């Protein structure tokens, strides 16, 4: 009885190619999606406010996770919309449902991030 073949390990070159493809996807979203650009600008404003108010390490962690959550949700939303458009170019109730649910997930992420931002920044604002 022969032993099962062990699949080859991915090469460093394939890892770098995956990173390049991921960066290309982010850049595509930035160029083509108005909401992603708006959320990116808001993220920069939040990071600058964190620097300005000298937030604690834990507050930085909360802000970075919140920003990452929103941008990731928007990227998933963009990907889902593209796949739905490809699979169903005509208007269909299930296509609308998929797009609406994906947009709803992004909205929940954005509202959650806004609440976290208020929790972090309100004490700093009231102290000044």
* Active-site residue, 74 included: yes
Inter-CA distances, 27 with 22, 30, 33, 40, 103, Å? 9, 5, 10, 12, 20
Question: What whole-number distance in Å separates Cα of residue 14 and Cα of residue 31?
Answer: 25
Q: What is the DSSP letter of 87?
A: H
| 4 backbone dihedrals φ, ψ, rounded to 5° | -65, 145
Give the active site residue among 5, 33, 54, 74.
74
Q: Which active-site residues does the annotation give? A: 74
């Amino acid at each position: 009885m022969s032993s099962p073949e062990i699949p080859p390990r991915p090469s460093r070159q394939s890892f770098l190619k995956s990173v390049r493809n991921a960066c290309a996807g982010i850049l595509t979203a930035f160029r083509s999606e108005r909401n992603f650009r708006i959320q990116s600008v808001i993220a920069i404003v939040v990071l600058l406010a964190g620097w300005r108010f000298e937030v604690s390490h834990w507050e930085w962690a909360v802000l970075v996770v919140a920003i990452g959550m929103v941008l990731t949700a928007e990227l998933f939303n963009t990907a889902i919309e593209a796949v739905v458009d490809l699979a169903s170019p005509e208007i269909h109730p299930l296509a609308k449902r998929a797009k609406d649910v994906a947009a709803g997930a992004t909205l929940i992420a954005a509202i959650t991030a806004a609440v976290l931002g208020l929790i972090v920044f309100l004490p700093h604002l009231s102290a000044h």
